[in-house]
Structure 1
């Protein structure tokens, strides 16, 4: 990275911190801190959900599959869009119509306090460890791109790059601070800005890599065999169907996504947000994975996990590398901030308020919520710093808890749709699926051996088709169990269903928190800043001026169009208000 890249990266970090502090003025109550007062624009919620699905692994893992196997990486990611469409149609509006403050409140009403504790602590461990591993992976990728000179603070003497521990701490600290001070408003709006940065960076890389391929004389004959087929090896149709089903339950019931349905004004807005999320995932995977796929034709034989980064480095001008690093940070930051906010909300509203201090004031809840966010955030940073010393233990923790999480999400969705689903159904599904998953995990990792015969053949199939085995245990088994349990209690109405449908929502004290035109202005400001930045890096580059000017013009034009629309809407509102007063 050149000096201008560090400047771009620093400006980006300062920008999202500034947005967090600016939006802290919107936080007047716990409803603002964890639900945006129920006033989030649907498009902000949809873009935030889209970004929550991202991490740096999107570039490394799926980018590596795109480089190695081609179009199948696009097929896998299109499954997210299919799953989001189904979740939007069947579930998003239902969540909003419940009148609940948080997904944990739904679990408590529908299944009782034992289920609340099971869901809360299991998912908290799973998400905190998983997100910490993602933060560590992000830092490991980014430090390789960030050499520092002698005497520069945070430099690792052994590598000459930014120190890995410093990267984990600094990047984690930025996310913790803006999430703590700005709450869900900051999470939503920084996600929108991060979407802009990510989209700009990927569009620029895709355009430049195509030009590089043309200049290098690449042809269709150089494309590897089966590279453009939608399935490949273990990533067959069964896997894709199961992947879509898994993510239907995930998008439909995981708490970070449910929070996006609850923070908008009504059920229609919740559906629109999810449909936007789906539409983006049905279109954008082709764009994301174009760089590694084209780079395979230009430079075959590279390490697949480094392919995306190497493709970016080969075409990006000075300054744009910093923006690409910012985009990679954005991908993980969105996931981290979402999980911090949703679990801080659960600990504050559903554990502290409902179980410990029912009479606590809103000011107290805001204070406790920020403390909970900080504690979770620094715990996450601590876990991320310990990852190198865990010796693979973190992967075991994530793998074992993930055996419980998917079976937890399926009963949650089932209980939203069916009146006879009970706490017993939850525990039976989790217990059986966990045991089946544990056996499957042990077989895949060679921890147990089975006698010859049918069991041995089955074990060989599990090892050979590990992805399909995960689908059977993670999707087919819980659905079959829930279907059987549903049929066995078909005519019963569980008391939890009665509690849920008779629930009266508590009024949210969110006076003065209506966003007005603020979200649109933040988007325009972000686009304008990106446009100015691209013009600002022109003097530092000898090539690529035309592409930089083109992208800068597009960003500045979009920013101007948004501001013009905002101003026109404001003027129309003033005219209507004046007309209404005069008529009265």
Structure 2
């Protein structure tokens, strides 16, 4: 598959236009020097539509488009639980967690942990997140993006890696979060348009030109097993999605960690004009999440019918892109790169934020000027990207389903993170030592179970490790005297009341999900 001259022109205009827009929205008033709040929190000025769009643009990247399409190819619609259950999780975050974070006036998640526990917890978790974001998330997005570019254009993987790294850093490094969040509006529009186009063409191909609805009906009739949302124990991919665990078990822990306690995601809500604005943005994002399986799962399911002989599941989405006619392929290719670039830009900005605020500003140079911190943030963003480019291929080159790789190793950290935050929120006696025990136990127990109980589904492992971390935290706290901590959160001083529109939108999300699961149980 090759891009036509028109496709290349279209894609080039997208790249130039995005950089120009990023520079324009990043401009400062004459005489104003960009400070850390401007760079890392967009001056706390983001409106709801920018928050909602940016949440989705940051979330949906190569790991979802390529990785989840690959899982759709191999498993089917069941992988959509990651998207649909996330919609409910977002609403929980907006109602119960955001009010606490915004009332505390924090910039980073580790900063909150120091306020609630102590500096040791802050530093340990900052290092955890920096390692996770750089070695797992950033490398995965780059690698899958380079694979897609290679499949579509034939460009060598190393050149694809370098292009994505340079382009992403180039448009985001000057303006920081403001440049990323406001350009994400364009990215999301392109993402949705391009994704729906690929899905339509794939379904239309199944129906031999009779339309997408006919193609969907044919899929339902010919491969009904691909529509099972809850997998039975004898299913070959049960280990990836173990039955009811996706509704009542470890998937909740994964979602709460990703959407609630993840700097990469939560930073957008922290940059909101107000709590109400942040909650409106989260409700907007929840509805976009309901739409995402059509874009990131359905093409892979269609590929299982159209090209079942694929050597690797992650080839499914690039293969379906070959159906896009010349002239439109440039827009679809731009949509894919938009998703990748927005996630890369968001990720390096969050890495820079945590390093600058929690490591550099806390340990190395507490008295550094605002200007110097912004400069350090930009240097760290570039450095993280260079590291990710170097290690992407050795780390991910032989892994068949990259999305499962991401979930597997993120799950080492996730149970401890959720334990620390939930106990910190809702148990005034939870101590700093118990938080450290939970953080370390999460990694150690996960690694031991991964090594010595390989048959345990990883979502079940996440749930088991989470329960163990909570138990250990309670035991350590009780052994230390079980007294109210001086930094405990006073929930009586925080309002969890939400607007009528937020409540109505939340009810709509729940009803849609009930209907979806009832249809394809």
TM-score by length of 1: 0.72
Aligned-partner SS, 1:264 = coil
Distance 1:498 1:213, change over 3 A: closer
Flag the 1:276–1:475 CA change in 2: closer, same or farther, 3 A.
farther
8 Å CA contact retained: 1:126, 1:398:
no
Runs (5+) with no aligned partner, structure 2: 494-521
Per the alignment, residue 41 of structure 1 pairs with 47
Match of residue 19 from structure 1:
21
Change (3 A) 1:487 1:3: farther
**What is the aligned-residue RMSD (CA, Å)?**
3.2
Shift of the 299–412 alpha-carbon distance from structure 1 to 2, 3 Å rule, reads same
1:53 has 2:85 as partner:
no
Alpha-carbon separation, structure 2, partners of 1:388 and 1:211: 33
For the 8 Å contact 2:191–2:338, the answer to whether it is kept is: yes
The CA deviation at 1:268 is: 1.6
The residue that corresponds to 1:191 in the other structure is 184
Counting only pairs closer than 5 Å after superposition, residues 194-209 of structure 1 correspond to structure 2 as 194-209=187-202
Counterparts in 2 of 1:473 and 1:190: CA distance versus 1, 3 Å: farther
Say which of 187, 194, 205 aligns to 1:212: 205
Match of 1:248 in 2: 256
Q: Which moved more, 1:478-487 or 1:233-242?
A: 478-487
Q: Which has the larger radius of gyration?
A: 1
Structure 1 residues 377 and 76: CA distance shift in structure 2, 3 A: closer
Q: 1:221 to 1:400 in 2, by over 3 A?
A: closer
What is the CA-CA distance between 1:295 and the residue it aligns to? Answer: 4.2
Which residue does 1:472 correspond to in 2?
463
SS at match of 1:74: helix
Instruction: For residue 318 of structure 1, report the CA deviation from its aligned partner.
Output: 0.7
User: How does 1:388-407 map onto structure 2 within 5 Å?
Assistant: 402-407=411-416
For 1:112-511, list aligned pairs within 5 A: 112-130=118-136, 131-146=138-153, 161-215=154-208, 219=218, 222-232=221-231, 233=235, 234=238, 235=241, 236-241=243-248, 242-303=250-311, 304-314=313-323, 316-384=324-392, 387=395, 402-443=411-452, 459=453, 462-463=454-455, 465-482=456-473, 492-497=483-488
TM-score, length of structure 2 as denominator length = 0.81
* Counterpart contact for 1:110–1:499, Cα < 8 Å: no
User: Secondary structure in 1 aligned to 2:392?
Assistant: helix
**Offset from partner CA, 1:300-340 (integer Å, 9 cap, x none):** 444433222222212x1113222222222222322222221
**2:116 alignment partner in structure 1:** 110
Q: 1:482 to 1:177 in 2, by over 3 A?
A: same
d(CA) in 2 for partners of 1:353, 1:13 = 34
Whole-angstrom CA distance in 2 between matches of 1:500 and 1:13: 46
- SS in structure 1 at match of 2:226: coil
Quickly say closer, same or farther: Cα 1:344–1:295, change in 2 above 3 A. Answer: closer
CA–CA distance in structure 1, aligned partners of residues 302 and 112 of structure 2: 46
Q: Is the 8 Å Cα contact of residues 165 and 385 (structure 2) preserved in structure 1?
A: yes
2-structure distance, mates of 1:489, 1:275: 41
Report how far residue 77 of structure 1 moved: 2.2
Per the TM alignment, residue 188 of structure 1 is displaced from its structure 2 partner at its CA by 0.5
CA contact 1:82–1:282 (8 Å) conserved in 2: no
- Number of corresponding residues: 468
Per the alignment, do residues 283 and 387 of structure 1 end up closer, same or farther by CA in structure 2, a change over 3 Å counting?
closer
Tell whether the 8 Å contact from 2:110 to 2:121 is kept in structure 1 after alignment: no
2:11 is the alignment partner of 1:9: yes
* CA displacement at 1:216 relative to structure 2: 5.3
Q: How far, CA to CA, are the matches of 2:76 and 2:101 in structure 1?
A: 37
What are the superposed Cα offsets for residues 207-249 of structure 1, whole Å, 9 maximum, x if unpaired?
3333333335763675224232212231211144321332112
State the 1:491 CA deviation: 6.4
Q: Distance in 1 between matches of 2:24 and 2:275?
A: 29
Give the structure 1 partner of residue 518 of structure 2: none
CA gap of 1:376–1:221, structure 2 versus 1, over 3 A, is: closer
Residue 72 of structure 2 is aligned with which of 66, 75, 78? 66
Rounded to whole Å, the distance in 1 between the matches of 2:329 and 2:406 is 34
Q: SS at the partner of 1:227? A: helix
Distance in 2 (CA, whole Å) between partners of 1:474 and 1:9 is: 46
Q: Could you tell me how far 1:472 is from its partner in structure 2?
A: 2.9
Q: Secondary structure at the match of 1:144?
A: helix
Partner of 1:549 in structure 2?
Answer: none
Query: For the residues of structure 1 that align with 2:450 and 2:474, how far apart are their CA atoms?
Result: 25
Note the alpha carbon deviations across 1:274-304, whole angstroms, 9 max, x for none.
2222221123323443333344444544443
3-state SS, counterpart of residue 26 of structure 2? helix
CA contact (8 A) 2:48 2:278 kept: yes
1:419–1:493 CA contact under 8 A, matched in 2: yes
Q: Secondary structure at the match of 2:173?
A: helix
Cα separation, 1, equivalents of 2:438 and 2:292: 35
Contact 1:98 1:500 in 2 (8 A): no
Paired with 2:328 and 2:418, the residues of 1 have a C-alpha distance of 40
Note closer, same or farther for the CA distance 1:482–1:269 as it changes in structure 2 (3 Å cut): farther
1:481: Cα distance to partner? Answer: 4.1
Contact 2:192 2:295 in 1 (8 A): no
Stretches of structure 1 lacking an aligned partner (at least 5 in a row): 147-160, 444-458, 503-584
Alpha carbons of structure 1 residues 397 and 319: separation in structure 2 relative to 1, 3 Å: closer
